[in-house]
Structure 1
Amino acid sequence: MNNNYDKIAGHYDTLSRLVFFKSQVNAQINQLQHIPENSSVLIVGGGTGWILEELAKIYTGGLKIVYVEISAKMTVLSQKRNYKDNQIEFMDVGIEDFKTDVLFDVILTPFLFDNFAEQRAAKVFGQLNEYLKKDGLWFLVDFSLNKINGNWWKWLLLKSMYNFFKLMGIVEADKLIDMVPYFFKADYLIVEERLYYGGFIKATIFRK
């Protein structure tokens, strides 16, 4: 079980929108305006690549993007996107196997850490922290079990999601890891935080 979504790559966006409508999309789109022009950007777990087209709506060129996605089928879908004149390097590997000497201005991890058990989540955080420049921005979008609008339905929905993905043999995690303490321990500051879908989805921009 290696957090690989090949089995549902062709249906992932549809399934996501059936459950969350456009909340998962909006949580990511609304962060993109904070990306400076001509940035070097690392996207980890970008899925089908629709985010590349949204970035191209803001900047038709000038971005240097490294796109790390473990699912080969997701990567193929991403390569077909219209990202205009932005420079994209597609890496079909798990993030743990991705190595680089490049320091990035921006890191995007959309719904990445909810796939990992805590030990692996901590390891991946430490790895990505090394790849981000000082004063760089880290866009974290993930599920959140906060107490806004009640916790019971969020817990129930999250449990159902994990059970489904376990049944499909897709993810290793069976509970949600709160990543915010890792950022605070590494001296990140919150630039912006927004909640979506009744507070179940949280989008946070951190500055290193």
Structure 2
Amino acid sequence: MKNNYDSIAGYYDVLSRMVFFRAQVKAQIDQLHAIPANSTVLIAGGGTGWILEEIAKIHPSGLTITYIEISSKMLDLSKKREVKSNAVTFIHSAMEDFKTNFSYDVLITAFFFDNFSADHVEIVFNQLNKLLKKDGIWLFADFYYTRQSGKRWQWLLLQTMYLFFSKISSVEAKSLVNTEHLFREKDYLSLKEAFYYSGFIKTIIYQKMT
């Protein structure tokens, strides 16, 4: 199965911290203040679920969270997290296979789109866009590299990551796809941008305007 991290679920977080220290963690935590109280939240590709505990520190109750993860082992780890009084529904599914008539106040996609090829990215983006309410908040975090401004070590690290994960987790992407034009085309407003790990990680808090 493509983009499935079952084989490294047990040590994925350790591996991430060995390479990026706490940069990926801090990048995501810094965005969580944008989640409104008593909101509905969809987390796509949540991994081991540590983000649920961080969310619960800010909102110990009142949130209705849909947690979608393609890896069954990642999902098992997520179910053990302390979510306090928030209501969390765990769904074992690829995001592109998830179907619902429900809509959400908040979407969270952290290091998610880097798994997909260019054609697939747009399909998944459009699906998520339809699930977000007008004026809803989209918390986006991912690796960032451009040929114009990127550094060689960033390019080399990306190539190493994609080679590793293509073998271990059948990640379909071969290179990092820029998604910012998709948000512009759908009239999203960028409320806040931040960079981490010497500019290799970028976060954006978007608001859906139409």
TM range (shorter): over 0.9
Give the corresponding residue for 1:51.
51
The aligned residue for residue 67 of structure 1 is 67
Aligned AA for 1:95?
A: M
Instruction: Tell me what 1:170 maps to.
Output: 170
Q: 2-side partners of 1:35 and 1:193: how far apart?
A: 16
Question: Alpha-carbon deviations, 1:98-136, whole Å to 9, x = none?
Answer: 011111000000111000001111000000000000000
1:185-204 matched pairs, under 5 angstroms: 185-204=185-204
Give the letter for the 2:20 counterpart. Answer: F
Residues 127 and 149 of structure 1: CA distance in aligned 2, closer, same or farther (over 3 Å): closer
* 8 A contact 1:149–1:199 mirrored in 2: no
SS in 2 for 1:160: helix
- Does the CA-based 8 Å contact 1:148-1:198 persist in structure 2? no
Q: Which residue of 2 is the match for residue 137 of structure 1?
A: 137
The residue number in structure 2 matching 1:207 is: 207
> Distance between the aligned counterparts of 1:183 and 1:149, measured in 2?
21
What letter matches 1:11 in structure 2?
Answer: Y
- SS of structure 1 residue aligned to 2:18: helix
Deviation (angstroms), 1:151: 1.6
Q: Distance in 2 between matches of 1:133 and 1:149?
A: 34
Q: In the alignment, does 2:140 pair up with 1:119?
A: no
The offset of 1:168, in angstroms, is 1.5
| Contact kept? 2:71, 2:92, Cα under 8 Å | yes
Equivalent residue number for residue 23 of structure 2? 23
Separation in 1, partners of 2:169, 2:7: 9
- Give the CA deviation at 1:67: 0.1
Structure 2 unpaired stretches of 5+: none
Structure 1 alignment gaps of length 5 or more = none
Deviations 1:8-33 (A, max 9, x none): 00010000000000000001000000
Cα gap change, 1:18/1:83 in structure 2, threshold over 3 Å: closer, same or farther? same
Structure 1, 148-157 or 93-102: larger mean CA deviation:
148-157
2:39 is matched with 39
- Distance in 1 between residues matched to 2:185 and 2:169, nearest whole Å: 33
TM-score of the superposition, structure 2-length normalised?
Answer: 0.97
Identity %: 54
Q: Which moved more, 1:162-171 or 1:151-160?
A: 162-171
Alpha-carbon distance, 1:148 to partner: 9.3
Q: Give the counterpart letter for 2:132 in structure 1.
A: L
Runs of 4+ in structure 1 deviating by more than 4 angstroms, as ranges, are 146-150
CA drift at 1:150? 4.8
Q: Give me the TM-score of the superposition, normalised by structure 1.
A: 0.97
C-alpha separation between the residues in 2 aligned to 1:52 and 1:148? 36
Q: Would you say the 8 A contact 2:6–2:169 is kept in 1?
A: no
Counterpart position of 1:158:
158
Structure 1 contact 40–65 (Cα < 8 Å) conserved: yes
1:88 aligns to what?
88
Measure the CA separation in 1 of the matches of 2:37 and 2:3. Answer: 32
- 1:10 paired to 2:10: yes
Q: Is the 8 A contact 1:149 1:198 kept in 2?
A: no
